[in-house]
Amino acid sequence: MRVEFFTAVCIPAFFIALILCATPVSADPGWVTTSISENTTNALGGEISGNYIISLGGAEGIDQSQNRIYLYAIQTDEQKIIGSPSANMTVTGPGISEDYAVWFETPVEDFGTNETSTAPNRVYLYSLRNGSAEIIDTPGTAEWPKIDGGRVIWLNESEDSFNVRIFLYDIDTGKSELVCELPIIDPAGVLFDGDHIVYLDSAGLYVYSLETKANTTVFRNVFGNESGSDVGDYALGGDYLIYLKHTVNFEGPDKGMFDEPYLYLISTGETKRLDPATGAFSESSKTPAEDGKSLDVSSPFTDGKQIGWVYSENTPGSTILLCDPETGTVEKIPVDGQADHLSLDGDRMVWVETHFPSFHGELIYAQENVSSTEKVPVPGFGTIIGIVALLAAMVLLAGREK
C-alpha cells in the first residue's frame, strides 16, 4: 500500500514542483526574414521607413521600360505598384520618409541611331496617407530626388557650368528654391538627411550644410605611383556618415585591393576606422590586418542610431554586421546569398539578395525578434529545498497511510 501510494502521489508531485519552480530564461534574439518581391521581378533596391517599404523592380536584362515602383505595407502584407513609366520612359530613384515617397521618370536610354526622345523628366511625390501621386518639379529637368520628412531635394544640371544645381522643395507650402550648386560627379549617389547633403566630386567625399552653407571635406582622394585610395559606397543618417575607403597598393607587403569602413561624425568632424570583421574601432595609423584585407566589404548603411555593412569571404553567403557606435554592441546576421542595397529603420531592415550564379535580385524584409521568455527547468538552491521538503512530506504521509 505504501509503495503504491508513493508512486501515485509523490512522483507526480515531484514533476509539478519542477514545473512550478521553473525559471524564465530569455530566448536567443534573431531576425525573421521574408521575401516580399515577385519571382518574375528583379529587385533593384529598396528603402524602409516605418511601416512601409518602397522598392524598384524590373525585368531581367536591360529593358528599363519594364521598371516599376512598388510599395509594400508591412502591417497588412500588401504590395502594389505605385509608379509605372510612360511610353519610352523609365522610373527609378525611389525614396521614402515618414508620410511620403518620391521617385522620378526619365527617358529610356536609347543606344540606337534614331534617338528622338525629348520627353521631360518628372519628379513624383506620393502621399502614403492618400495613396495619390503628383508631379512636383517644373519645367521637368529635375532628377534623383531625395526626401527627408517634409522636404525634398532634386538635382538639375547647370546650363553655364559643370556644377549641379540643387533645389529644395517644401511639401507643406509646395514651393521650391535653388539652395546651392555643387561639383557633383555622381548625381544618383547624393544623400540628404536633416540639413546635410553628402556627395562625391572628383576630389573626394563632402558634406554640405544647408544651414551654414559650409562645405566640409570628409575624405580627399589620394593617388600615387605605388598606391591610391578613394571612397566607394557611403550612407548617411543623423550625425553618422559611414563610408568605405577603397585602397589599392601596387607594391610592398600590403599589395592588393581592400575596403575598410569608416565612421565620420558630422557634429564633431571626427573620423574613426572600423574593423570590417568585428565592428570595433581601430587606430587609423595601423595597417589593416590580413584577415580584414581578405574580406569583401560592401553596402554600408545607417539609420542614425546604428551602423553596418556587409562582408563575405570566398563563400556564396555573406554576413550583415550591425553595430551601435555608442555602446559597442555588435550583431552578425548570416545571409545565404549576397546581401546588397541595405536600408535600416530601428528593428526593421530590407535588402536585395542574390544567389550565385544567378543575378536575379530578391527583396528581403527582416524584423528583429522581440526577446521572449520560455520556461526552462533550472532549479536553484531554494527550489531544491522546496522539492526536498515536498518529497519528505509525501513520505511521511505515505507512512501514516500504512
Q: What is the mean pLDDT of residues 181-201?
A: 97
Cα torsion through 363, 264, 166, 108, rounded to 10:
-30
Q: How many whole angstroms separate alpha carbon 85 and alpha carbon 107? A: 9
Residues forming a β-bridge with 56 = 45, 69
Given this model, what pLDDT does residue 34 score? 95
Least confident of 54-68, 168-182, 376-390: 376-390
Q: Average the pLDDT over 162-187 and give the result.
A: 96
The arithmetic mean of pLDDT across residues 166-195, rounded, is: 96
Based on the domain organization, do 264 and 326 belong to the same domain?
Answer: yes
The 3-state DSSP class for residue 257 equals strand
Task: Dump the DSSP string for 296-341.
Answer: EEEEEEE-SS-EEEEEE-SSS-EEEEEE-TTT--EEEEEESSEEEE
Residues 395 and 318 in one domain: no
pLDDT band at 173 (very low <50, low <70, confident <90, very high): very high
Question: Is residue 328 located within the same domain as residue 380?
Answer: no
Q: Which of 13, 67, 71, 21 is nearest to 350 (CA)?
A: 71
Residue 285 lies in a domain: yes
Residue that terminates a domain, selected from 335, 361, 392: 335
Structural domain containing residue 390 = 1-27+372-402
> Does residue 227 lie within any of the structural domains?
yes
Q: What DSSP character marks residue 142? A: -
pTM of the shown model: 0.82
In the predicted model, is pLDDT for residue 20 greater than 80? no
Q: Does 330 map to a domain?
A: yes
Per-residue confidence (pLDDT) for residue 251, from 0 to 100: 83
Q: Is residue 25 pLDDT above 60, yes or no?
A: no
When pLDDT is averaged across residues 209-214 and rounded to a whole number, the result is: 97
305-312 LR contacts (CB < 8 Å, sep 24+): 305/237, 305/238, 305/346, 306/344, 307/235, 307/240, 307/242, 307/261, 307/263, 308/342, 308/344, 309/242, 309/244, 309/261, 309/276, 310/335, 310/338, 310/339, 310/340, 310/342, 311/276, 311/277, 312/338
Amino acid 192: pLDDT: 98
* Banded pLDDT at 232 (limits 50, 70, 90): very high
Grid cell listed for 292: 580584414
**Banded pLDDT at 389 (limits 50, 70, 90):** very low
Q: Are residues 229 and 318 in the same domain?
A: yes
Cell of 270: 571626427
The residue that leads in pLDDT, 131 or 285, is 131
pLDDT, tens digit (0-9, with 9 covering 90-100), for 132-143: 999 998 778 899
The mean per-residue pLDDT over the stretch 234-245 comes to 98
Total number of domains constituting the chain = 2
Read off the pLDDT of residues 66-114 as tens digits, 9 standing for 90 and up.
999 999 999 999 999 999 999 999 999 999 999 999 999 999 976 554 5
Gap between the Cα atoms of 310 and 300, Å rounded: 7
What lies within 8 Å, CB to CB, of 255 at 6+ separation is 249
Task: Give the integer Cα–Cα distance in Å for 79 and 128.
Answer: 13
Pick the residue with more confidence: 291 or 189? Answer: 189
User: pLDDT tens for residues 325-361?
Assistant: 999 999 999 999 999 999 999 999 999 999 988 889 9
Does 305 score more than 80 pLDDT?
A: yes
Among 92, 46, 100, which residue's Cα sits nearest to residue 67? 92
* 302 and 228 together in one domain: yes
How high is the pLDDT of residue 110? Answer: 64
* Cα–Cα distance, 300 to 274 (Å, whole number): 12
Q: Domain for residue 322, yes or no? A: yes
pLDDT tens-digit profile of 318-335?
Answer: 999 999 999 999 999 999
Where does the pLDDT of residue 229 fall: very low under 50, low under 70, confident under 90, or very high at 90 and above?
very high
Whether the per-residue pLDDT at 400 is higher than 50: the answer is no
* 8-state DSSP, 242: E
* CB neighbourhood size of 353 (10 A): 21
Q: Average pLDDT, whole number, for the chain?
A: 85
Residue whose C-alpha cell reads 544647408 in the numeric block: 210
Q: Is the peptide bond before 139 cis (omega within 30 degrees of 0)?
A: yes
198 is a domain residue: no
Chosen domain end from 315, 335, 355? 335
- In-domain check, residue 121: no
Same-domain status, 306 and 386: no
The verdict on residue 311 lying in a domain is yes
pLDDT for res 293: 63
CB 262 within 8 A of CB 245: yes
Tens digits of per-residue pLDDT, 149-162?
999 999 998 777 78
Q: How far apart are CA 7 and CA 351, in angstroms?
A: 58
The pLDDT assigned to 313 comes to 86
CA-based torsion, 318, 324, 325, 328: positive or negative? negative
User: Does residue 393 have a pLDDT over 50?
Assistant: no
Work out the percent of the chain whose per-residue pLDDT is above 90.
67
Indicate whether 166 belongs to any domain: no
